[in-house]
A and B are shown apart, each in its own frame.
Chain A
Amino acid sequence: MNIKELYQEIILEHGKNPRNLRKTDNFNKDAKGYNPLCGDHVHIYLKLNEKKKVEDASFEGSGCAISMASASIMTDLVKGKEENEVKEIINDFLGMIKVNPELKSKNLKDDERTKLMCLSGVKQYPMRVKCATLSWHTLISAIDSTQEEINTERLD
């Protein structure tokens, strides 16, 4: 495995200039996540309309290139999607990062699928999988309004 497959241009670019790194005005869902191994924090904000469609998604936090890129791509991608579609995409993404060779979700457009697959390089780096998944687990927590901080050490 070449390190360049982990640090692809798109990851570096999103890591350097993360999209949606802010706090959504009038957000109605949010959750915090924490990775005790590295001390990285993330705070996800969502604004869902009455039809449960994501009007805006954003995040605050700091971390490595992988975690910033992952949160950046994720928040971009969920905008305009319905809550149940988002949940399906999250499951698909987490499945891909852990075991599945590819993404299966019909709710993803081709370019979105390509972007997400850029994160698949972390599979070869077990210590870095949590960097890529922290914001996604936190997004589940925000949607479900669990009010519980996500801790990567307590996840499967």
Chain B
Amino acid sequence: MNLSNIKKEFPIFKNKNLVYLDSANSSQKPQSVIDRINDFYSNEFSNVGRSVHALSIAATNNYENTRISVQKYINAKSKDEIVFTKGATEAINLVANTFGQKYLKEGDEILLTELEHHSNYVPWHYLRSLKGVKIEFAEVNEDGEVSVESIAKKITSNTKIIAVTHLSNVTGAILPIKEITELAHSKGIPVLIDGCQGAPHLKLDMQDLDCDFYTISCHKMYGPTGLGILYAKKKWLEELPPYQGGGGMIKEVKKDSISYGDLPNKYEAGTMATAQVVAFDQSIKFLEKIGMNNVIQHEKKLMDYGQEILRKNNSVKLVGNPKKKGAVLSFTIEGIHPHDIATILDEDGVAIRAGHHCCQILHETLGMAATARASLGIYNTKEDIDRLNSSINKCKKIFNLK
């Protein structure tokens, strides 16, 4: 596939003025994904798994087909290890809630890192008051990385679970999660990986990573909103209690007892985001067609170019300098608040994010209230980076900076 034409696959870029640099927040959608949602609702819609009519059977097959695509895409052992959720946030809440319920007691420790997004901290925070657990944070270094050593330092005999990001949405650091998992497993501690930023930008292999839980946000992966994925090793899904109760997740319901459905239905209560699941299969096909190696190469080239250009730009300071880095360029400009940067860039059609990016712990650690963030996707080009840079120069001009 010719990557230089990839923008054509995304109808939003018919607006030639748009330079979209907010993919870490949410990615744009290719035509094939949009069409699939439209087709499904127009011609094929039915609820899944409930009725015996032909529409329902076809819809169920489509829905389950995405599960198999995801299983293959991330190299999970079984399709039963793939649970659909309403987002990565719900996936982490599911684990925090059920794992906390079953295994955690007062004095136990949960180990996170200072890089974590609020969605991989707040769900665990509830367990402080509910269970009296402690939350520890592995420290970030000045390059914006978290090393295995930094994790090792915070592991104690009370550590019951480790939850870390695969790729920081602020510094772009790619964490050594395989090594972290090895270390944790050598001490009998399970590991959850927040893969929101990892999944759209890195090759995933659950057998190689060997983590216990991996969470994915589909809308950051060229897919629909309202959909996330929890990968969990089968033994955990069997051992942990159900998360939400309702239709579809039960085996038998009586006045005095209820038994739960088989995997993965046990964790999919109520009517699911059917059309989104069906359409997400197209997102996977889209990425497979390009090939993850090409995605990685393309984004690395762009990011190296972006870092080079921004480093040359006086008064621009990049946030973090990790050795292994994903497609995120967070920066500050001395003398201009990130919100002012974002407003001025927006005037030129350059969409970035400004703020704490749901990482207040990290910003506090870095001693910054806010940063500006340009995050890349498969559709970005060198011209986008050049336009980012010239808009930054416009900011500097408006604020009378050199």
Chain A residues packing against B (C-beta within 8 Å)? 3-4, 6-7, 12, 16, 37-40, 62-66, 125, 127-128, 131
Asked if B36 lies at the interface with its beta carbon under 8 angstroms from chain A, I say no
Smallest distance from the beta carbon of A123 to chain B beta carbons, Å? Answer: 13
Q: Which residues of B contact A16 (CB under 8 A)?
A: 335, 399
B343 at interface, CB cutoff 8 A: yes
Count: A-B pairs, CB below 8 Å: 49
Chain A residues near B398 (CB-CB < 8 A): 3-4, 7, 12
Does A131 contact B339, Cβ atoms closer than 8 Å? yes
Nearest CB on B from A63, distance (A): 6
Chain A residues with CB under 8 Å of B344's CB are 3, 7
Please give the distance in Å from B108's CB to the nearest CB on chain A: 30
Taking the closest CB of chain B, its distance from the CB of A70, in whole angstroms, is 13
Given contacts A39-B355, A64-B338, 10 further A-B contacts (CB under 8 A): A3-B343, A3-B344, A3-B398, A7-B398, A7-B399, A38-B369, A40-B369, A65-B336, A128-B343, A131-B339
On whether A38 and B400 interact (CB within 8 A), knowing A6-B343, A131-B339, the answer reads no
Bound state CA distance, A62 and B336, in angstroms? 12
Interface residues of B in 316-366 (CB under 8 A from A): 335-340, 343-344, 347, 354-356, 360, 363
Which of B336, B340, B369, B400 is A39 in contact with, Cβ under 8 Å? Answer: B369
CB<8 Å pairs between A and B, sample of 5: A12-B399, A38-B355, A40-B369, A62-B369, A125-B343
Q: Does B115 contact A (CB under 8 A)?
A: no
| Cα separation A97 to B354 with both chains bound (whole Å) | 23
Pair B363/A39 contact, Cβ less than 8 Å? yes
B24 within 8 A of A: no
Q: Closest CB of chain A to B190's CB: distance in Å?
A: 33
Question: Which residues of chain A have C-beta atoms less than 8 A from B399's C-beta?
Answer: 7, 12, 16, 65
* Cβ-defined contact, A3 with B347, below 8 A: yes
A64–B360 contact, CB under 8 A? no
Contact A38 B339 (CB under 8 A): yes
CA distance A16 to B335 in the complex (A): 8
Nearest to A13 among chain B residues (CB) is B400
B94 on the interface (CB 8 Å rule)? Answer: no
The one of A3, A12, A64 that contacts B339, using a Cβ cutoff of 8 Å = A64
Interchain nearest-CB distance for B341 vs A (Å) = 9
- What is the bound-complex CA distance between A12 and B337, given in angstroms? 11
* Cβ–Cβ contact B335 & A39, under 8 A: no
Shortest Cβ gap from B86 to chain A (Å): 22
Determine whether the beta carbon of B400 is less than 8 Å from that of A12: yes
Residues from chain B with a CB closer than 8 A to the CB of A39 are 355-356, 360, 363, 369-370
Chain B residue at minimal CB-CB distance from A12: B399
Bound complex: CA A123 to CA B355 (Å): 21
Contacts of A62 in B (CB 8 A): 369
Residues of A within 8 A of B340 (CB): 7, 64-66
- A-B pairs, 5 with minimum CB distance: A64-B337, A64-B339, A3-B347, A64-B340, A65-B340
